[in-house]
Amino acid sequence: MNTDNSSRPKETVICTCTGTSKEKIEQLIAKGVDTLDKIESATGANTGCGSCDILIQELLDK
Ligand code: FES
């Protein structure tokens, strides 16, 4: 099984608290939503338990 994080499918839910998918976050980044704060405002992601911030940051850093 492939466990490489960078190959997670786009449907992968990054933020389980808000159900925000990797695809949604990548679409926002493509539109210039380029900071964790802005992703939070746009999706609500990272406003629950906060444990997904590292995963969102990883997508931003790509
Ligand atoms: S998983 Fe994103 S705030 Fe909990």
d(CA 60, CA 62): 6
Contact yes or no for 45/12 (Cβ under 8 A): no
* Annotation: CATH topology of 13-61: Arc Repressor Mutant, subunit A (1.10.10)
Q: How far is the CA of 14 from the centre of ligand 1 (A)?
A: 8
Q: Which residues does ligand 1 sit against, CB inside 6 Å?
A: 15-17, 45-52
pLDDT of residue 59: 96
Give which of 29, 32, 31, 30 is closest to 57, Cα–Cα: 29
Q: How far is the CA of 45 from the centre of ligand 1 (A)?
A: 6
Q: How far is the CA of 55 from the centre of ligand 1 (A)?
A: 10
Model pLDDT for residues 3-48, shown as the tens digit of each residue = 556 678 989 999 999 999 999 999 999 999 999 999 999 999 999 9
